[in-house]
Structure 1
Amino acid sequence: MLLELGTEELPYQFVAPALRALQHGAETLLKDSRLTYGSVRTMGTPRRLVLLVEGLAAQQASAVKEAMGPSKAVAFDQSGQPTRAAVGFAAGQGVPVEALEVRQTPKGEYLFAVKQEKGQAVAVVLTQALPQLLAKLSFPKAMHWNQTGVRFARPVRWLVALCGGKVLPIQFATIKAGSFSQGHRVLGAKVSSPKGFAVKSIAHYFKETERHSVIVDQERRRALILEQLAALAKSARGHLHQDDELLEQAVYMVECPLTILGSFKPHYLALPKEILMTSMKEHQGYFSLVDAKGALLPNFLAVTNMKLANMQLIREGNERVLAARLADAKFFFDEDRKTSLADRVAKQLAVTFHQKLGSLHQKTQRVVTMAAHLAGQLGDDQLVHDCRRAAELSKADLLTGIVGEFPTLQGMMGGEYAKHDGESASVSAAIREQYLPRAMEGELPESLAGKVLSLADRLDSIAGFFLVGLVPSGSEDPFALRRHATAIVRILIESRLRLNLAQAVRAAQEGLAQQSVPAAPQPAKGGAPDVIGFVFERVRFYGKSAYQLRDDVMEAVLKSADRQSIDLTDLFDKMQSLQQITSRAEFDPLIVGFKRAHRLTEKEQWDRKPVESGLFREPAESALHGTVHTSHAAYAAAMRSGEYGQALDVLVRMKGPIDDFFNAVMVNADDPAVRGNRLSLLKEVDDLFMSFADFSQIMVQGT
């Protein structure tokens, strides 16, 4: 089966998500329609979304459908005749009342209607289902263009629907399906009539689209673009600056890719290369070229959707447009440097950060306080000074012309302007790195001051938005707080910063209170949103995605964490050590024994009391008591030095004495004193284990 939906040019950002939705929807449709198939593929360009189903069955599978109706007592009267309830049920199901079956269910005897549904021909099924499939496609922005009320990203212009070489008589947005497709908007017109070209089969479709200068398969376009980029970069004696986002844009902006090599005046290279690369990328969609040392070359690569006999015309046109853009960028850069960052700080009073969190100036003041607090935990007075100064200037570049033109340069240009203003290398680097990592897996700040500033900014944002009730829920996270929390987790753990996160969060909350930021009313259930709990959720996400840590291992460590003193690096070290030891053969049996001790003491709500050896009645009691005491010193020493693997090894060696105790001792002795003494002994074991992690969260067989 071939389905092609032709449109006006779609925004490149819309194509790939639409293709994924189309494939998922088609697979669901075929499954629900009981149609077997070999493969489902989707392809697309700016002007077409294509669905290909190969190995499709000629007819849907037959099915038996059952429906439960009223109870037997309601369905038949005393003489055994069907009541109106039975007759109505049968009529509703389209079966004779005599065909109804009485079956025994957990609720008693009930009527059932059993219908044999014969499979229909595939063309009949698809004719009904495909319009619904297309109607379910959604886009970030959609439009109306005719009287049907149909919403789509761009107007639909043609529709091809073939199954077994025959047209499926479907309709979408007043467009009736046929067998005629369209080629390239310009190049295709040279080889076909205005009404397009006929399509007979999938194979014929690919042959004809390519003849009409359309490469439908996005992966083929991607490979062609990469090949052209590499060849032209080599011809310019440079290297392509890798940019996956820009490559994705190029793939979905063209139907017939042809890359050209252009140039710009070398004097623009005096500008920071970030300005040049951003201008080329964001304004024009151009790729940059660098030399072996990473310095920018005065060249660019543009992926075009045209092929002319004289491509020099296109190249010169692109060069003229870029020259104007770079001239604007140079103007902004020169003008910005006439006013220092320090002189821009006061102007932040007139800029709103968020209506519930005050001005950008208030945000900056909070970040200054937070940065000083964090630097005090992590370094010396010089670090505190540098972080405070960097925080004071951190948001000033938002008021510059170049950042107004290119918002993605915030931070980077702040660092550049700070360097120009004579700020220290540490302060300039911190300002430059404050927004790192920019993505879930992006690079982290390199300098300690940069890490501190990034943490301070993100902690203030999370604490602030939580305070005013703007907390992420479900898929909604308009202020990217999950990304901020993940960045905090990554910076602390991957940089091995020993920071009391709980204290830092309290400092952020105190900063908001000092500015009298009003808190949102607390919900009736659940209380105030929990910032630490929110960060712990991102720890779980990070541990599972980056290190494949078990859910129960992470939960065991996090549940036992002291909420007043949280060191994520230390907690993560514990998780990794615990995960490693779970693979030992004796670990699962050890947890079985521990959980028996834990449940007994928890059930009794037993407080720890001194164990009296004089009340021992079995050698196993004395042996376990001795093991606990001899193990405690080695365990404590390993914990103090952070050797968590050694500490866990001490606990694992307690398996034998714990097993022997439960094999030989009845805890619930008749003598209350003996029983209490045994519970106190088990409480010692429980406390020792729980001082590392909440092992009751560990999932093993037999518990």
Structure 2
Amino acid sequence: MTTQNLLVELFVEELPPKALKKLGDAFATVLADQLKAQGLAPADAQVTAFASPRRLAAQVAGVLARAADKAVSQKLMPVSVGLTADGQPTPALLKRLGALGADASAVAGLKRAPDGKAEALFYDSVAPGAELATGLQKALDEAIAKLPIPKVMSYQLETDCELPGWSSVNFVRPAHGLVALHGSSVVPVKALGLTSGNTTQGHRFEAAVSPVVLKDADSYAATLAKDGAVIASFAERKAEIARQLAAAAAKVGGGCRPIEDDALLDEVTALVERPNVLICEFEPQFLDVPQECLILTMKANQKYFPLLDAQGKLTNRFLVVSNISPADASAVIGGNERVVRPRLADAKFFFDQDRKKTLASRVEGLGKVVYHNKLGTQGERTERVRAIARAIGQQLGGDVLAASADTAAQLAKTDLLTDMVGEFPELQGIMGGYYARHDGLTEDIAFAIEDHYRPRFAGDELPRNTTGVVVALADKLETLMGLFGIGQRPTGDKDPFALRRHALGVIRLVIECRLMLSANTLVNTAFDAFPRGFSDAGTDVLEFMSERLEGYCRESGYSAAEVDAVVGSGRWIGLAVVPQLLAAVRAFAALPEAPALAAANKRIGNILKKSEGEVAATVNASALVEPAEKDLFAAMQATVPAAKARFDAGDYTGSLQALAALRAPVDAFFDGVMVNADDPALKANRLGLLKQLHEAMNRVADLSRLAT
């Protein structure tokens, strides 16, 4: 059968820019998958997605006009139900055949085959392949139904019936055109009140012709570009914008470069059909405002690309991605410069007004801001964070660190009351740092205020100084303990307070900054900051942190068994040494003795669990009877002290490797010694020997979890 490429396009009003790429990919993927499922396209068919502000389209290669016929074998019923004792068809069988379009003449051709315990009748037939028009209609309906539409619109279409009226349609935006081409032939399908054709619309202002006539499916992108002045491919349009941005920055010179923001680039790509990058500028005096403020207002409000110099400092130039390409762009440039000026003036006004009050003078105002109806105000929360920060600072650096952490914690949230953060919440912390410097506070305090939200997301940088680390820890621990204490633990994929992120932040801060603080100490310190009677959720918080730590370790490249040996066994409480423990377990697992010792460790654990009462880790050497138990005891006397000494010195890898010498005596012990001896004293002594061995082997990690 001959094949041709298929092109389907929905022409609509301007689509939501932040959802465009996802809508385009979903439309193409579902449409192609449905065609493949019906045998109209090969499983490896090349699929090309197109998405512009006013269209969703897909091109599928190698589509058949009619799918191949398929042999179908259908189970009818058990032989005992379908045939009488003398082999004649029963009424039930004839009725079933009739439903399939067959009659009694088909009985002779029925196959018998085992089906479980009984024998069944099977009817073999040939199912005709799907016609493209029918199959595409089904695929198009499915593709539209499964679009990840952020918000559905309802609009009305005038009906074509004799009586005037309207029908309601639900879609992401009103649709005005439908194209369906198989090669050069129009495939008759309908969707959203539209009938397919071979014409579409180009650029609103710069299309060469209207409508744009598509000769065939293969010329779609080229025809739209030539006659419609539209780059239909999202990826090609994005690449063209990036190229023009780089070229414009080079034209400005001085090592300038556009700010890197892939989300902004995606959004702008979804706003234009024919990009044209223009260079604009604003008055240099606005550069007195912190560049984060100016960059944010230009990106968030205007979708502009600020230009940075070679040192990463903001310049007074910015780039605009226009959707039109006039011969004289001065009016477009001037218009954008006029639009941005009031935005920058607002930012300057907010900055100047905010600096008229110190951060310290705003502390009292935090008591009037509700943090949570069950956890009090931001002022009360600040006091809890201060208490936690002082305690952690005292443990890590004594009075000096405790005092600086206390000051930073007291002022950390005060920028929430400033005009700038009120206008741009994304700048919280950042503006606090600027205002702290203006107030004459030390750089240490300013950095701590600015950084106390870090890490804000996976891969984010950590605070730049120890004071910032302490305040960041205190802030996250207070959030975890407080919200867990009032029953706000995340459920499923719902985590409105970002508690998973906070827990992972605590883990990263302790591990990556190598803080000698146990998880128990941190949680208890956080709980102590809350008033008496507050629910103690420490156990739940520790469990929650353990779950996050498992993911953190796996993402660091460790296997599930390695992570389970350290984290699952509770050895993670000393968070700072978790990387060394994992490295030690990995090194041990690579030893030839590891499998046998891990299996023996698991066996010992099971024996000790089944023993009656608590087993004491004591051994009477004179009561040892069998040579194998004497040899094991002697080997332990020679090996365990050295392993413990290395453990105490922080050499966890050396500690585990020292125990590898026990493999032979351990194997010999289990081959030649009956642990559960009839003599109670002998049994207790042997259990004590195993208890000592178990404690020695599991000091670094639970090695039994490495057993396969």
Question: TM-score under structure 2 normalisation?
Answer: 0.89
Shift of 1:679: 4.0
Counterpart of 2:704? Answer: 696
Shift of 1:408: 0.8
SS in 2 for 1:628: helix
Counterpart of 1:554? Answer: 563
The answer to whether the 8 Å contact 1:138/1:152 transfers is: no
The answer to whether the 8 Å contact 1:95/1:113 transfers is: no
Counterpart of 1:524? Answer: none
**CA deviation vs aligned residue, 1:524-557 (integer Å, no higher than 9, x gap):** xxx9982222222221222222x21111211111
2: CA distance, partners of 1:287 / 1:466: 41
1:326-475 maps to which residues of 2 (within 5 A)?
Answer: 326-475=344-493
Work out whether 1:229 is the aligned partner of 2:239: no
Structure 2 counterpart of 1:569, from 563, 576, 582: 576
Structure 1 counterpart of 2:212, from 194, 197, 201: 197
Instruction: Tell me the amino acid that sits aligned with residue 16 of structure 1.
Output: K
**CA deviation vs aligned residue, 1:130-178 (integer Å, no higher than 9, x gap):** 2121111122222212265543332222222222332222222212222
Shift of 1:192: 0.7
1: CA distance, partners of 2:428 / 2:367: 18
Q: Which moved more, 1:55-64 or 1:415-424?
A: 55-64
Counterpart of 2:553? Answer: 543
The answer to whether the 8 Å contact 1:123/1:163 transfers is: no
Instruction: Tell me the amino acid that sits aligned with residue 622 of structure 1.
Output: K
The percent of aligned pairs where both chains have the same amino acid is: 36
1:622-661 maps to which residues of 2 (within 5 A)?
Answer: 622-661=630-669
Shift of 1:24: 4.1
2: CA distance, partners of 1:591 / 1:27: 51
Work out whether 1:155 is the aligned partner of 2:154: no
Shift of 1:440: 1.2
SS in 2 for 1:379: helix
Q: Which moved more, 1:342-351 or 1:5-14?
A: 342-351
SS in 1 for 2:154: coil
1:649-688 maps to which residues of 2 (within 5 A)?
Answer: 649-665=657-673, 667=675, 674=682, 676-688=684-696
Counterpart of 1:146? Answer: 156
**CA deviation vs aligned residue, 1:282-312 (integer Å, no higher than 9, x gap):** 1111222222222221111112211110112
**CA deviation vs aligned residue, 1:358-392 (integer Å, no higher than 9, x gap):** 33223222222222232233222122112222222
The answer to whether the 8 Å contact 1:414/1:431 transfers is: yes
Counterpart of 2:162? Answer: none
Counterpart of 1:22? Answer: 27
Instruction: Tell me the amino acid that sits aligned with residue 413 of structure 2.
Output: K
Change beyond 3 A, Cα 1:89–1:346: farther
The answer to whether the 8 Å contact 2:11/2:54 transfers is: yes
The answer to whether the 8 Å contact 1:419/1:428 transfers is: yes
Instruction: Tell me the amino acid that sits aligned with residue 524 of structure 2.
Output: R
1:22-41 maps to which residues of 2 (within 5 A)?
Answer: 22-26=27-31, 28-34=33-39, 35-36=41-42, 37-41=44-48
**CA deviation vs aligned residue, 1:489-523 (integer Å, no higher than 9, x gap):** 22222222222222322333444444x6689xxxx
1:70-219 maps to which residues of 2 (within 5 A)?
Answer: 98=107, 103-106=113-116, 108=118, 116-146=126-156, 149-188=168-207, 191-193=208-210, 196-211=211-226, 212-219=228-235
Work out whether 1:50 is the aligned partner of 2:47: no
Gaps in structure 1 of 5+ consecutive residues: 520-526
The answer to whether the 8 Å contact 2:183/2:218 transfers is: no
Change beyond 3 A, Cα 1:686–1:239: same
Work out whether 1:258 is the aligned partner of 2:282: no
1: CA distance, partners of 2:357 / 2:591: 64
1: CA distance, partners of 2:476 / 2:89: 71
Structure 1 counterpart of 2:262, from 235, 244, 255: 244
Instruction: Tell me the amino acid that sits aligned with residue 222 of structure 2.
Output: K
SS in 1 for 2:631: helix
The answer to whether the 8 Å contact 1:70/1:111 transfers is: yes
Shift of 1:226: 2.0
Shift of 1:677: 4.2
Change beyond 3 A, Cα 1:288–1:373: same
The answer to whether the 8 Å contact 1:434/1:453 transfers is: yes
1: CA distance, partners of 2:497 / 2:124: 53
SS in 1 for 2:454: coil
Counterpart of 1:5? Answer: 10
1:552-631 maps to which residues of 2 (within 5 A)?
Answer: 552-561=561-570, 566-604=573-611, 607-631=615-639
Instruction: Tell me the amino acid that sits aligned with residue 640 of structure 1.
Output: D
2: CA distance, partners of 1:381 / 1:66: 83
2: CA distance, partners of 1:88 / 1:518: 69
Instruction: Tell me the amino acid that sits aligned with residue 154 of structure 2.
Output: H
2: CA distance, partners of 1:385 / 1:485: 25
Change beyond 3 A, Cα 1:672–1:230: same
Change beyond 3 A, Cα 1:15–1:621: same
Counterpart of 1:523? Answer: none
**CA deviation vs aligned residue, 1:616-653 (integer Å, no higher than 9, x gap):** 45433222222222221111111112111111211233
SS in 1 for 2:59: strand
Instruction: Tell me the amino acid that sits aligned with residue 682 of structure 1.
Output: L
Counterpart of 1:267? Answer: 285
Q: Which moved more, 1:628-637 or 1:368-377?
A: 368-377
Change beyond 3 A, Cα 1:92–1:270: same
1: CA distance, partners of 2:268 / 2:506: 33
Change beyond 3 A, Cα 1:94–1:364: farther
1: CA distance, partners of 2:271 / 2:399: 53
2: CA distance, partners of 1:354 / 1:28: 47
Instruction: Tell me the amino acid that sits aligned with residue 197 of structure 2.
Output: G
The answer to whether the 8 Å contact 1:544/1:550 transfers is: yes
Q: Which moved more, 1:41-50 or 1:30-39?
A: 30-39
1: CA distance, partners of 2:467 / 2:125: 72
Gaps in structure 2 of 5+ consecutive residues: 1-5, 158-166
The answer to whether the 8 Å contact 1:466/1:529 transfers is: no
Change beyond 3 A, Cα 1:24–1:434: farther
The answer to whether the 8 Å contact 2:523/2:538 transfers is: no
Question: TM-score under structure 1 normalisation?
Answer: 0.89
Structure 2 counterpart of 1:291, from 300, 309, 316: 309
2: CA distance, partners of 1:675 / 1:63: 72
The answer to whether the 8 Å contact 2:132/2:187 transfers is: no
The answer to whether the 8 Å contact 2:30/2:139 transfers is: no
**CA deviation vs aligned residue, 1:36-73 (integer Å, no higher than 9, x gap):** 24222323122222222223355445555566676667
> Alpha carbon RMSD of aligned pairs, Å?
3.0
The answer to whether the 8 Å contact 2:514/2:576 transfers is: yes
SS in 2 for 1:158: strand
Change beyond 3 A, Cα 1:116–1:295: same
SS in 2 for 1:349: helix
The answer to whether the 8 Å contact 1:131/1:170 transfers is: no
2: CA distance, partners of 1:604 / 1:617: 21
SS in 2 for 1:145: strand
Instruction: Tell me the amino acid that sits aligned with residue 192 of structure 1.
Output: V
